[in-house]
Amino acid sequence: MTETNQRATDAQHKGGLSRRQFIAGIGGLGIGAVLGSGITALLLPDDVYAIEASQGYLLVDAKKCAGCETCVISCSLAHLGRINTSLSRIQVMKNALGSFPSDDVMQNQCRQCPYPSCVEACPVGAMHADPETGVRLVDEGKCIGCERCVEACPFTPSRVQWNFEDKHAQKCDLCKNTPFWDEEGGPSGKQLCVEICPMKAIAFTNVLPVQTDEGYTANLRNDHYLEIGLPSDDEARIPPARLGYGAGGTAAQAAAGSNDK
């Protein structure tokens, strides 16, 4: 066993159980208590933790994306201060021989999962949920390089990336920590990929998406699409109130927009 793996194993043994591991362990025992309000709640031991939801998510209109990779380049510039598309926290894959518009574009960034397996897999707490915003973050100083978070991500390719230069895990943080971009990021601020996309094919929302591939897609096509003869697919268009274009739309706006037709 390598030194890194041994450190990871030792740390995991000391770290207690995750919420998911505990629930799986008790199976159908139905451990719970009826509170005064009549709500049944699970009583969790002190060493079992629940992970709060993120306050922000990114949505993508694959049909509107031109595959220019402006978001990829700007992401690496904001986080690293240089262009390195391999180390960008958002990745775009497009058929170079395809036509426009089409939906053969894959944009991969962290989904801020409500039950993040990457956080649960980290044996030292380097991968964690920010206590203020719930955004899933990597504490690069704590990361021991075991790559368990990369392997634990249920998506292919993994939304957690291995920084092969600095030897630590990294992922989309909704621009909460961008040393080379002066704007305030995170759910209450701006996201550079949203701001800089020339096609406006990426949007921010405070509303937790449905946990499917379709849940993280959006129809962001506007009336200009009709003017130039491209389909806007009006029935599938996302109400603007659900989205916070670059300014981190408020939870109240998101909730109001979710009732729009």
Q: Using alpha carbons, select from 6, 161, 188 the residue that is nearest to residue 72.
A: 161
Number of domains the chain is built from = 1
- On whether residue 235 sits in a domain, the answer given is no
Residue 28 has pLDDT above 90, yes or no: no
- On whether residue 46 sits in a domain, the answer given is no
Alpha carbon distances (Å) from 119 to 116, 134, 137, 148, 160 = 5, 12, 9, 10, 11
- On whether residue 249 sits in a domain, the answer given is no
- On whether residue 64 sits in a domain, the answer given is yes
Query: How far is 241 from 250, CA to CA, in rounded Å?
Result: 9
- On whether residue 97 sits in a domain, the answer given is yes
Which CATH number goes with the domain that contains 211?
Answer: 3.30.70.20
- On whether residue 9 sits in a domain, the answer given is no
pLDDT digits (tens, 9 = 90+) for 98-131: 766 666 777 788 999 999 999 999 999 999 999 9
What does the pLDDT read at residue 188? 94
Contact indicator for 252, 259 with CB cutoff of 8 Å: no
- Number of residues that this document lists for the chain: 261
Q: Which DSSP letter does residue 130 get?
A: -
pLDDT digits (tens, 9 = 90+) for 34-86: 333 333 334 444 444 578 899 999 999 888 888 889 999 999 999 999 999 99
What does the pLDDT read at residue 254? 36
Alpha carbon distances (Å) from 30 to 13, 21, 72 = 26, 15, 47
Containing structural domain, residue 122:
55-226
Residue 198 has pLDDT above 80, yes or no: yes
- On whether residue 156 sits in a domain, the answer given is yes
- On whether residue 257 sits in a domain, the answer given is no
